[in-house]
A and B are shown apart, each in its own frame.
Chain A
C-alpha cells in the first residue's frame, strides 16, 4: 500500500485538549441528566454547544453515545465474525470456550520507551472504564449498535511512551492453533493482524473494550481486550489482542494481505466505495426483531460516510482521497 499523504506525526497537544473538552461535555450532560433534566436538558445543552448531529444519528455527545436503537445482547453475542473460532457466524459462540483467556499478557514493542510483556492486570489496572454506545458497521453490509465498556486506546498507548518515530500502531490477535479451530485452516495468514495510523490510534473515539452491555466481554466478542474503531469496517476492530507494536512504516494487515483490492489499510466506512461483493451504500441494521415472519420485512438503511462519525474524524483525512485510500 502507498504511504498516505497526511503524515501521521506525534500526538499533538491540541488533540489532548480536544479530548478534555469531550470529557467536560460528557460530564455536563451527565450532570444534567442526574439533576432530573433528562433528555430535554441534555438536548438543549448539546444544542447550545452546537455539537448535536441528528442527521447521522450520532447524538449530542460527540459520537460517544449513539442514540440509535441498541442491538439486542443476544444478537451481538451470537452473530460474530471471529475466524479464529470458525467462519460461520454461529461458530464464535459455539467454540467460545476454545479461547483461553487466563493467563493473558500483551507484548508491547517497537518504537517506544517502555516496551515489555505486560500482564492483563498491568494493562488494565490504571484505566477506569466507561460505557460508550457505538455503531458497528461490518464490511458485509450489516451493522449493530453496541454499548461497549472500556477506555480510550490513547490513554493506554501513552503509558508506553511512543517515540517520534512511531507513525503507526500494529496489533496482533492470539495465535493458538492447537485450541482455536479456525486457525487450523488457511482462511487467513495467522495470526490476525491489524493496524492504525498513530493519529487514528490516538483519537479519543478509538477504544479498548473489555466489556459490553455492562458485563465482561464474552470470548466470541474478543475477550479479554479488543479494539473498537467505530468509523472503520468491523474487521479493523481486532479482537483478543496479545501484541501492540509501534512502527515507523505501515504495518501489514490481515484482510489487506488476503485481498488487497477488496480491503484497504484504512477501511473507513464509505458508502461511495463499493466492494466487489457488497454494495456499501446501504446496510442491514441488526437491531430490532429477529424472530417471527415480520422480522423478514425491514428495509436497509443508508450507510453514512465514516459511519456517521465524520464530524469527529473527517479531519484526520483532510487532503486525502478516501476513494484512493480506501
Chain B
C-alpha cells in the first residue's frame, strides 16, 4: 500500500492514476484471497501448521485491499455520485459481483478475532466457509470486466478452480471412507 501511494506520488502510476489505484487494489485483493484459500492445502501437503497461523492475517489483508478497492471506486472513480453508482449496479453484473464479494467478506473480517471464534464455536467454520463464495464472486467480477485480453483473469480463475477442486476431492474422499 505504501508502494502504491509512492507510485502515485512520483507519477509512476501512469497517465490514469485513478484506474491504476483501482486495478492494483483489486488485484491485491484477489491475490490475498486466493492465498488465504491456499493455506489449508499447503498445510496439509507440508504437514505443518504455520500456513494456518498466517491464514487470518492473509484474510484480513484481502479484506483491507477489498475495502481500499471499494473506496477507490466510490470516492475516486465515482466521486461519491450515488446516482452513478446505482446506475452501475443496475446495469453491470460485474459491479454487483464485486459488491457481493465485499459484503460476504465483511462479516468474515468482523468475526476473525479470537473472541468471535470462541463465541461462535462450531458455527464459526460454517460462516467462514463463505469465503469460497467471496472468492468466486470476486473472480466473476474480474473475468466479466476484462475487455479483449482475458488471460490474466483466467489465470486467477484457474488457480481458484484448482483450489476448489482440491477441497472437493478431499471432501469426497473423506466422506466415502
List residues 271-326 of chain A with CB under 8 A from any CB of chain B. 274, 276-277, 279, 281-282, 284, 286, 290-293, 295-300
Contact partner of B15 (CB less than 8 A), chosen from A75, A274, A292, A298, is A75
A27 to chain B, nearest CB (A): 35
A84 to chain B, nearest CB (A): 12
List residues 42-64 of chain B with CB under 8 A from any CB of chain A. none
* B94 near A78: Cβ-Cβ < 8 Å: no
* A296 near B8: Cβ-Cβ < 8 Å: yes
Contacts of B21 in A (CB 8 A): 296
How many angstroms from the CA of A228 to the CA of B91 in the assembled complex?
Answer: 30
How many angstroms from the CA of A83 to the CA of B150 in the assembled complex?
Answer: 13
Contacts of B76 in A (CB 8 A): 296-297
* B84 near A282: Cβ-Cβ < 8 Å: yes
List residues 254-281 of chain A with CB under 8 A from any CB of chain B. 258, 274, 276-277, 279, 281
How many angstroms from the CA of A277 to the CA of B147 in the assembled complex?
Answer: 8
> 1/0 contact trace for B133-146 toward A, CB 8 Å?
00000000000110
* A295 near B92: Cβ-Cβ < 8 Å: no
* A90 near B84: Cβ-Cβ < 8 Å: no
List residues 45-86 of chain A with CB under 8 A from any CB of chain B. 74-75, 78-79, 83
How many angstroms from the CA of A326 to the CA of B127 in the assembled complex?
Answer: 46
Contacts of B18 in A (CB 8 A): 284, 295-296, 298
Contacts of A188 in B (CB 8 A): 148
* A293 near B84: Cβ-Cβ < 8 Å: no
Are A277 and B92 also in contact (CB < 8 A) when A87-B148, A258-B148 are?
yes
B44 to chain A, nearest CB (A): 36
How many angstroms from the CA of A292 to the CA of B149 in the assembled complex?
Answer: 30
* A79 near B14: Cβ-Cβ < 8 Å: yes
Contacts of B13 in A (CB 8 A): 290
* B9 near A290: Cβ-Cβ < 8 Å: no
Are A89 and B16 also in contact (CB < 8 A) when A276-B92, A290-B11, A292-B8 are?
yes
Query: Does chain A have a CB within 8 A of B17?
Result: yes
How many angstroms from the CA of A48 to the CA of B139 in the assembled complex?
Answer: 57
Query: Does chain B have a CB within 8 A of A187?
Result: yes
* A299 near B79: Cβ-Cβ < 8 Å: yes
Interface size on B, residues (CB 8 A): 29
Contact partner of A291 (CB less than 8 A), chosen from B9, B19, B79, B151, is B9
* A293 near B5: Cβ-Cβ < 8 Å: yes
Q: Would you call the interface of chain A mostly helix, strand, loop, or mixed?
A: loop
* A291 near B15: Cβ-Cβ < 8 Å: no
Contact partner of B149 (CB less than 8 A), chosen from A187, A296, A298, is A187
> 1/0 contact trace for B7-30 toward A, CB 8 Å?
011110111111101000000000
How many angstroms from the CA of A283 to the CA of B74 in the assembled complex?
Answer: 15
Query: Does chain B have a CB within 8 A of A140?
Result: yes
Query: Does chain B have a CB within 8 A of A117?
Result: no
How many angstroms from the CA of A89 to the CA of B23 in the assembled complex?
Answer: 12
Contacts of B15 in A (CB 8 A): 74-75, 78-79, 89, 286, 290
How many angstroms from the CA of A298 to the CA of B18 in the assembled complex?
Answer: 9
Contacts of B147 in A (CB 8 A): 87, 140, 277
* B14 near A90: Cβ-Cβ < 8 Å: yes
A113 to chain B, nearest CB (A): 38
A310 to chain B, nearest CB (A): 23
Query: Does chain A have a CB within 8 A of B172?
Result: no
How many angstroms from the CA of A311 to the CA of B47 in the assembled complex?
Answer: 71
Are A293 and B9 also in contact (CB < 8 A) when A140-B147, A142-B16, A258-B148 are?
yes
B127 to chain A, nearest CB (A): 33
Q: List 12 A-B contacts (CB under 8 A).
A: A83-B148, A90-B14, A142-B19, A284-B18, A284-B19, A290-B15, A290-B16, A291-B9, A293-B9, A296-B8, A296-B18, A299-B81
Given A79-B16, A290-B15, A300-B77, 18 extra CB contacts under 8 A: A74-B15, A75-B15, A79-B15, A87-B148, A89-B14, A140-B147, A142-B16, A279-B84, A281-B87, A282-B84, A284-B18, A292-B8, A292-B11, A293-B8, A293-B9, A295-B8, A298-B18, A299-B81
Which 5 pairs between the two chains have the least Cβ-Cβ distance?
A79-B15, A291-B11, A87-B149, A75-B15, A299-B79
